[in-house]
Each structure stands twice: as structure tokens, then as C-alpha cells.
Structure 1
Amino acid sequence: MIANLPVLQALVPLACAPLCALLRRRSLAWLVFLVAALGSLACAAVLARQVAVHGPQHYAVGGWAPPYGIEFVIAGYNTPVLLVVSAAAVAVAVYSRGSARIEIDDRRAPQLYTFMCLALGGLLGLAATGDVFNAFVFLEISSLSTYALVALGRRRRALLAAFRYLVIGTVGATFVLVGIGLAYAVTGTLNMADLAVRLIAADGNRALYAAVVFLFVGLAVKAAAFPLHAWLPGAYGEAPSAVSMFLAATSTKVALYVVCRLTFTVFGAALVLGALPVGRVGLVAAGLAMVIGSAVACFQTDLKYLLAWSSVGQIGYMLAGISLGTAAGVSAAYLHLINHAVIKAALFAAAGLLLVRLGSVQLPALAGLGRRMPWTFAAIVIAGLGLVGVPPTGGFAGKWALASALIEEGQWPLLVAMLVSSLLALCYIGRIVEAAWFREPTPVAEPSRVPASMTAVVWVLAAVSVVFGLDAALPASLAESAAEALLNGGG
């Protein structure tokens, strides 16, 4: 069984998807998704332990040895991503038990869990595969399912957001596929390890340069890297609460992981960050994302859109660390990836809780609610301080690591952009605090009761953020192992 875990990681949720579709009862479909999420988390935890003790784990699908067959590879560089995605799925499964019952009608509930299983399986497969075309297949499985998930939003604007996401995502996928085709034309292989070996003889090939450009532009779209982020605010803002929570914690993180995987273990940092200006472009885009994303968030009146624009800025932090191309930079990017997944999942979960209780997440509707819902807003403040980077939250640990990496490389303009972004984060989190505690409450109907499971998830995630700030040993060790494995070409 242990030997089959690399493929079971993705196969379990994919196999559960049709079962959710066949089940007509909401509770049964939810239970199947919960089992799929728990199974994936168990696989990820065991695989992380196996990698730590025995090194990278390889699995040849169907017994066909690579490079002719499809290979799954579990190594230090993807175990943090597998853990983040599967743990986020478990949190979303528990949370959606209450939120989906209120936001999604009984007829569409099985569809929600079907697409959630597909998205989970696609993201886990994308993180685990060692084949570039197989990576494209998993990328499209996750993308197509998330387009449908966004369309399940409660407002008609969700359909427009899903359509925009579909169009932009399809353009990005086309770029990725063209890049894979060009890489295959140059090398004649699709296996990542074999591709890396054969690319040595193709140094200076213009088709290879074109392949890198197409691949990284396509992945930048999937990661919502500035200025290719246009799909993200609408998708996060209009999706059902559980979907927003899941996407914010996982989708862009996995795309950034694929960028790391291709940069350091396939094409090589010398080509991507040296011969081609991908690193320099990435640093500029990261700085602009930090400042512009955070600045736009300051002017949003809808809490979910505020958090969505905040994500655009936070993605800039991760992109900056990757673009540095150093062990310290990549480690900082992974550390911020882990902490941001926890923090943003907590905040979108809290936004969903407010939506269920009040029927609105407009900032004016939150006036005076800090006194009526002190525990909910306390969790929002704790998670919000993580976005700002205030100790002792996990956000501080990630930002401190990134700041150290930037100083080490003399990237002072980017350090300034990071500080400005943090001040802007204080501004938009301050707007939430000001509305909740310093405005007079407006007369509203008696708030609806919130399921205990939703409140519990919000507080668990907020508590994890603080734990990762007080003792960053676990996320830091995962981040450092990932950076070491990437820069040493491990796996």
C-alpha cells in the first residue's frame, strides 16, 4: 500500500468525484468529499514521513518505467504543497457542511462536492506528477472544475466571473500546452527528469527559449501573477464561501510550485533566471503586485473582494522569493506560501460566516458588529495581523525570511515595495476594524445562527497562524527542505 501512495494521493479524490455525482443526497455527497479529503491528507502525511526518512519516492504508472511511462515523484519540493492542499481540503470539507447548506440548494449540492473532489484530485496530481504533459492534464482537471465551482455562486455576477475565469484560464492553458509542445519538439521526451538531461545538449536552441516563455506566461496566468491576475478578484469574490476559501488556500500556490519545479529541476536556473530575463521580470512584477494589489484592496467595500485583491499582493511576495533564485529566497517563498494559505483560508472562512449570519459582507453592513460578535472579529483581526506581518503570527515569519533574502541580494527597491505593501495591508485590515468597532451599529434584523462547524474552522485556522508564528519550526523545516531539494535538483 505504501508503494502506491504517490498515485493514490490524487486517485482517491478523482475516484470519489463520480460517486458524489451519483448520490442525490447532500449529506452523502458531503461525506464522500470529507473521506476523500481525509484520505488525501493521510497519504500526504505518510509520504512526507517517507521522504524525510528514505528520500524521494517514485511511482511508475502501470509498471511502465520512465521516460516511456508516466511517473509520480514525491520529494522535498512537493511534500509541503501536498500537505497544504490536502489539509485545506479537510478544513473546507468541515466548513462546507454548514456554509453550503445555506448558500447552495439541495439540487446543486452534489455538484459542488463533485467539482471539489475533481479540483482536489487535479491539484494533488499536478503537484505529484513527474511528467509535463500529465501536469497539463491535471492542470486542466483542476481548472475546469474550479470554473464550475465559481459559477455556483449565489449572485448572477458569479456567472460572469466564471466566464472571465474560463476565458483567461483557457488562454493560459493554451500557452502552457504550446510550451510543452515546443519542449517535446526539442527533446523528444515529456518526463521531467529525462527532459532536464536532454536539455543540456539543446543549450542555445531558440525553440527551447520559446518553450520557456510560453510555459511561464501560461503558469503566470494560473498563478494570478501581476499583471495577469484579472480573473482572480471576481472568482474569489463571487464564488461560494467554501470555494473561495479553498481556491485562496490552494490554486495559485500549486501554480507557483510548478513554476519552481520547472525552473530549478527541469529547465535550470541558469537558463530561466540567467540566459532569459524571467527572474528580472518576476521581480518587477512581484514589486508591482505587492503595492498595486494592496492599494486596490484599500478601496474595496466588499470584504471578499478586499481579500481577493489582498491575495494579488500576497502572491507578489511568493513570486519575489522564487525570482531571486537563491536558497533563502525560495525557502522564504515556500514559508510564505504555507502561512498565507492558512491565513487567507481563515479570512475567507470568516467572510463566509458573516455572509451566513448577516446576508452581506459589505463593509458598511459590519458597522458596530465587533461588539455583537466579538469572537468572530477577534479571529478576523488575528488572521489580518498575519497579512500585515505582525508578530507573533505566521505572516511575520514569512515576511521576515523574505526581507532577509532580499537584503542578502541587495534588492532594496523590492524591500521598500514590501514595506509599503505591509503598511497598505495595515490600512485595509484597519478599515475592517474601524467598521466593526468604531462605527455606530445600524438597525438590522436578528442575525441568523451560524453552524458551530464554521466557527470552529475559523478559530482553528486563526490559532494555527499564531502557532506557526510562535514556533515556526514545522513550516520552516518544510520550506528549507523544499528549497534544498529544488536547488540540488532532488527527485
Structure 2
Amino acid sequence: MEQLTILLIVIPLMVAPITALIPSEKITWALTLIVSSISLLISLYILYEVSDGRHVIYELGGWRPPWGIEYKIDSLNAFIAVIVSGIASLSCLFAYRSVPDEIDKKTIPLFYAAFQLCLLGLLGIALTGDIFNLFVFLEISSLSTYALISMGKHRKALTAAFSYLILGTIGATFFLIGVGFLFAASGSLNTADIANRFPSFADMQLVETALIFMVMGIALKAAIFPLHSWLPNAYGQAPSAVSVFLSATATKVSIYVLYRILFDLYPIDYWVDMLLPQIMLSLGCVAVIYGSFRAWQQVEMKRLLAFSSVAQIGYMVIGLALINQLGLTASILHLFNHAIIKSTLFIGAGILLYRANTTELRSLRGLGKDMPWTFAAITLAGLSLIGVPGTVGFVTKWYLLEAAVEKGMWIVVGTIVIGSVLAIAYVWKIIENLYFRSKRKLHIQDVPSGDSGVARAPRTMTIALWIGAIMCIVFGLNTELSFEAASSAAKALLER
């Protein structure tokens, strides 16, 4: 059982360089799909094994912590690993037809190799129990992400990748400085060891400074308002398959790191005394309203969805800042629910881009009538984003409202209501342009003028889209599995 955890790292690490050397785009795609699928199966098995509160521990090289690197898996780690590997598999299925259309043929092997390295980095962040090792995996995922974004078909993709590179490097530097300060104070890099011996060095000024640096660095990586400026361009200009993968995983894993810092590394009372919950609650509320309003202002679908992500990250931050069982459960649950919703919507946007060569809403007018199945799936995911009952989005907002009422935080209740109203506005903007506006003459990819083939999206894209759309409903109606996993993880964090 313990050896399975390291396979999540070893498999993509071994396959990625092989993938980069294979010239066949179909073989490289197949290898990536196999790696993602195996990672998903292993993650699901590990989640099943630790769902009853047990831990799985793997010591690299047989070196016991704190001297060696330790992988310590609980319900939260496993839950994040399932999200990352599941979305990777979905993104890879979508990429079969999307990547050859948007990426230069010569660089496709490098694209899939970078994709596997990004998966490796994100899984490594989720599994490791060593904060410096976490930084290493953070940089592996970040460097591969910069490369993936830069492979977009337009020159703006290079600008977006460069902007993300600069800000991401600043965030990583802040985090590393924080790790250095904490190591100087504690003499250890193992999360559990630092937490156990925390009272012995808690009074040192370095410890408080380390927390500030680490939180700032991760907040930038997670695109927490107001450190979100890299996100709209990165998601908007990246190749569609990259937008699908990153929108559902990258910021979620960074939020996970924030959980580990605030609940595993430091005692809750320590950062409560620093007024950090009040600061995060304020920023989360502003993010929900600001991100939703900016999404409503957009005229291009991918940028609209990117600003929507800023708002959705705000919900996660609010749940964390409430510091109660329901709030933290809602925050963790939204990692999963939003990953499903946003990956589905970006897949829908990718299909529209594949067919119409644009995602500008005014250029897509009436296309929903020609692509009814694609439009239906986008609508289902859009309703989930709003939080309509029976969808995954409603589940998160309901528990978040309960948590806010329990704490008497009526400003949070008002923020959720306003954010939902604004979500109706920007989701309706997509639906109105796709279905209720008069048609425009479009240049449709691979379809002769007037051909009924405009209504048909490639099969792999459609399968990926409807897997996401069905999950939006299935996990909205049957919440037991996802809620139990999130609740178990929240309880474990609060009891440390």
C-alpha cells in the first residue's frame, strides 16, 4: 500500500522524458492518457483506504523523518490527488483533437511531456509531508505550466506566460524565504516534526515572519484577490486543454497548501491572534463580488470564465476563514465541485474555439442552435456555477451559508447572495449570445459552408464535455461521497 503513493510520482517522472522523444502525436497522447488514468485509479484506491481516518506513510530511501522526506497521506491528500488526476484524465481526453489544432506539430511531444511534469508536480505537492520538498514540486508544476501556456497559438500567449513567470517566481521566492525562516527557527523541514515542537520556538520573531512570507507566496500562486492579476491572461491565452487542466487544479492545489500551512504547520490560535481570519474573510468577500462583476464585463468567453475563477476562489477563502467544521468542509468541497464545473465550461469553450476559431461572444451569436448538445452541457455547467439546486454549485453555497449563519457572519451571507446574482448575469450573457441572439456568418473549422456538420463536435471532445456535465448533476444530487470526503478532511484539520 505504501509503495503506491510513490508510484504517483515515479510513473509520470519516468514517462515524461520518454514522451518528449517520441515523434508520434497519437502515441504521446496515449501515453499521457495512460499515465493520468493510472494516477486516477491509484488515487481512488488510496482515498478509499484512508477514508476511515487512517494514514499511509512512505519514507523515501528508508530515511526516517525529520532527516528524510516523508509522504504522509490522509483523507485530504487523497482527495486532492483524486481531483488532480481525474481532471488530468478528462483534459487528456479532450486534448486528442484540441492539441493538434492549437499546438505546432513539432512541439506536441514536448507539450505532453510538460503536461505530465505538471501532473507530477501537482501530485507531489499534495502528497509530501516536507515543506522544502513541497517547494520543489511547486516549482516543477510552475515551470511546466509556464511552458504549457506559452504554446498557445497567439503571440499573447507568450506575454501571458511571461507575466505568470514573473509573478509566479515572486510567489515562489516569498514561499522559499518563509521556509528558510521557519527552518532557521525550528531546525526541521518535516511538517509533523515542526508542529510537534512548535511551542519550543513559537516566541521567535522569525516564526511569525515565516508565516507572513509563506502565506503571501501561496496567495499569489492561488490567485487570491488582490494577487490574481496573472490568472485572466494565463487562462484566456493558454491552449484550450491547458485552460481546462489549470483552471481546475493549479489554484486548488495552492489553496490546499494554504490549508496545510495554517492547520498542520501552525496552531490555529497563533494565526487567529494575528487577525489573519479577518483579513482573509474580507479579501474573500471582495473577491466574490469583484471577480463576478469583472466576469460580467467580459466580451470573450475564456476571460469571462477566468474572472469567474477569481470569484470562486473567494468562496474557498471565505470557508477557510470561518474556521468552523461546516465552513472548512464547504471550502474543501468547493475545490472538488469547482474543478468539475470549470473544467466542463472550459471544455465547452474549447469546442466552440475548435469549430468557430474564436471565443468572442459577439462572434458566437446563434451558434448554440447549431450545436445543441454542446450548448446543453455548457448550460448545465453554467447553472452549477450559479448554484441552482440539484447541481454541485448549490451544495457548496448551501453549506457555506450554514457556516456563515452559525458564526453570525451576515456580511458573508450577503456576499454569497450578491455573488450568485452576478453569476446569473454573466452565465446568462453566455447563454444569450449562444442561443437567443441572431446568427452571424461564421468560419467553421473543417466544415463546408452550410453543412450540417457544424452541429457535430469531435467525439472525444463531446465525451469529455458530457462526463463533466453529468458529474455536475450526479454530485449535486448525490452528495454523500464528496461531502463525506470533505467533511472527514475538515475534521482532521481542525482536530490537529
Cα displacement string for residues 239-285 of structure 1 (whole angstroms, at most 9, x for unaligned residues): 0000000001100000001111111111121112x121221111011
Select between 130-139 and 29-38 the one with higher mean Cα deviation.
29-38
Deviation at 1:370, TM superposition (A): 2.0
Q: How does 1:183-332 map to 2 (within 5 A)?
A: 183-272=182-271, 274-332=272-330
C-alpha distance in 2, partners of 1:188/1:394?
Answer: 44
Deviation at 1:327, TM superposition (A): 1.3
- The residue that corresponds to 2:11 in the other structure is 12
C-alpha distance in 1, partners of 2:212/2:149?
Answer: 29
- The residue that corresponds to 1:163 in the other structure is 162
Deviation at 1:53, TM superposition (A): 5.0
8 Å contact 2:357–2:444 — kept in the other structure?
Answer: no
8 Å contact 1:186–1:207 — kept in the other structure?
Answer: yes
- The residue that corresponds to 2:109 in the other structure is 110
Number of equivalent positions: 487
Q: How does 1:171-190 map to 2 (within 5 A)?
A: 171-190=170-189
| 1:35–1:206 Cα change, 3 Å | same
Cα displacement string for residues 325-382 of structure 1 (whole angstroms, at most 9, x for unaligned residues): 1111110001111110000000000000000010000001111112111111111110
| 1:54–1:425 Cα change, 3 Å | closer
Give 4+ residue runs of structure 1 displaced > 4 Å after superposition: none
8 Å contact 1:150–1:240 — kept in the other structure?
Answer: yes
Kindly provide the amino acid, as one letter, of the partner of residue 223 in structure 1: A
- The residue that corresponds to 1:441 in the other structure is 439
C-alpha distance in 2, partners of 1:49/1:150?
Answer: 34
C-alpha distance in 2, partners of 1:327/1:445?
Answer: 52
Cα displacement string for residues 163-197 of structure 1 (whole angstroms, at most 9, x for unaligned residues): 00000000000000000000001100000000101
Kindly provide the amino acid, as one letter, of the partner of residue 328 in structure 1: L
Kindly provide the amino acid, as one letter, of the partner of residue 465 in structure 2: V
Deviation at 1:484, TM superposition (A): 1.1
Cα displacement string for residues 440-470 of structure 1 (whole angstroms, at most 9, x for unaligned residues): 1012244546320001111110110101111
C-alpha distance in 2, partners of 1:19/1:305?
Answer: 34
C-alpha distance in 2, partners of 1:227/1:424?
Answer: 19
Cα displacement string for residues 199-236 of structure 1 (whole angstroms, at most 9, x for unaligned residues): 12122321100000000000000100000001100000
Name the SS of the counterpart of 2:346 in structure 1: helix
C-alpha distance in 1, partners of 2:6/2:244?
Answer: 26
The counterpart of 1:461, out of the listed 453, 460, 468, is 468
Unaligned segments of structure 2, at least 5 residues = 447-455
Kindly provide the amino acid, as one letter, of the partner of residue 278 in structure 2: R
Deviation at 1:52, TM superposition (A): 2.4
C-alpha distance in 2, partners of 1:375/1:77?
Answer: 35
Deviation at 1:54, TM superposition (A): 7.1
Kindly provide the amino acid, as one letter, of the partner of residue 440 in structure 1: S
C-alpha distance in 2, partners of 1:139/1:436?
Answer: 38
1:488 aligns with 2:495: yes
Unaligned segments of structure 1, at least 5 residues = none
Name the SS of the counterpart of 1:298 in structure 2: helix
C-alpha distance in 1, partners of 2:17/2:391?
Answer: 40
C-alpha distance in 2, partners of 1:45/1:443?
Answer: 46
1:130 aligns with 2:134: no
Kindly provide the amino acid, as one letter, of the partner of residue 246 in structure 1: F
Cα displacement string for residues 45-92 of structure 1 (whole angstroms, at most 9, x for unaligned residues): 111122125710000000001111000011012111010001001111
1:375 aligns with 2:366: no
Aligned-residue RMSD, C-alpha: 1.1
8 Å contact 2:357–2:443 — kept in the other structure?
Answer: no
- The residue that corresponds to 1:79 in the other structure is 78
C-alpha distance in 1, partners of 2:121/2:426?
Answer: 33
Select between 411-420 and 49-58 the one with higher mean Cα deviation.
49-58
Kindly provide the amino acid, as one letter, of the partner of residue 339 in structure 2: A
C-alpha distance in 2, partners of 1:324/1:214?
Answer: 22
C-alpha distance in 1, partners of 2:408/2:372?
Answer: 43
- The residue that corresponds to 2:351 in the other structure is 353
1:413 aligns with 2:411: yes
The counterpart of 1:389, out of the listed 387, 390, 415, is 387
Percent identical pairs in the alignment equals 44
8 Å contact 1:19–1:32 — kept in the other structure?
Answer: no
8 Å contact 1:262–1:268 — kept in the other structure?
Answer: no
Name the SS of the counterpart of 1:108 in structure 2: helix
Kindly provide the amino acid, as one letter, of the partner of residue 404 in structure 2: L
8 Å contact 1:265–1:487 — kept in the other structure?
Answer: no
- The residue that corresponds to 2:453 in the other structure is none
Name the SS of the counterpart of 1:78 in structure 2: helix
C-alpha distance in 2, partners of 1:443/1:237?
Answer: 24
- The residue that corresponds to 1:450 in the other structure is 457
1:48 aligns with 2:47: yes
Name the SS of the counterpart of 2:68 in structure 1: coil
The counterpart of 1:337, out of the listed 330, 335, 338, is 335
8 Å contact 2:395–2:476 — kept in the other structure?
Answer: yes
8 Å contact 2:53–2:75 — kept in the other structure?
Answer: no
C-alpha distance in 2, partners of 1:481/1:312?
Answer: 26
8 Å contact 1:222–1:252 — kept in the other structure?
Answer: yes
C-alpha distance in 2, partners of 1:214/1:326?
Answer: 25
TM-score, normalised relative to structure 2: 0.97
C-alpha distance in 2, partners of 1:52/1:311?
Answer: 29
8 Å contact 2:174–2:216 — kept in the other structure?
Answer: yes
